[in-house]
Amino acid sequence: KAGVTQTPRYLIKTRGQQVTLSCSPISGHRSVSWYQQTPGQGLQFLFEYFSETQRNKGNFPGRFSGRQFSNSRSEMNVSTLELGDSALYLCASSLATGSGSPLHFGNGTRLTVT
């Protein structure tokens, strides 16, 4: 069974630009979550989607947005990039929201903002 796939693996962007990251969950998983990981803050929750609906949102500015498609694939978008947005962005899928099912992570997209 294929794992969670994230593309691209690396991105270098300039301040003020925008970026779109993509995530394909494990087949059969309907819940997709996004996390930001930095050395200073650890894993911070961004948002979670289930059946194309955003179910939860973390404490991030509105520049961070996402969506989920009918095939459960998900994208997240960051507009007006800032230097502080440099991080590893991780996508995780699970069978169902709130069921005690573990998250299964992709290998992330490393975003560098210059």
Terminal-residue alpha carbon distance, the chain: 37
Residue 60 found at the interface with other proteins (CB under 8 A)? no
Q: How far is the CB of 110 from other proteins (least distance, A)?
A: 8
Helix, strand or coil, per DSSP, at residue 7: strand
Region from 59-67, 70-78, 79-87, 92-100 binding other proteins, contact rule CB under 8 A: 92-100
Q: How far is the CB of 67 from other proteins (least distance, A)?
A: 18
Backbone φ and ψ for 63, nearest 5 degrees, come out as -65, -20
Task: Give the integer Cα–Cα distance in Å for 12 and 69.
Answer: 26
Q: Quote the tokens at residue 71.
A: 């095939």
Binding other proteins by CB under 8 A: which of 20, 22, 65, 97?
97
Region from 13-21, 61-69, 79-87, 93-101 binding other proteins, contact rule CB under 8 A: 93-101
CB atoms within 10 A of CB 86: 17
- Residues near other proteins, by CB under 8 A: 4, 6, 33, 42-43, 45, 48, 56, 58, 90, 92, 97-98, 100, 102-108, 110
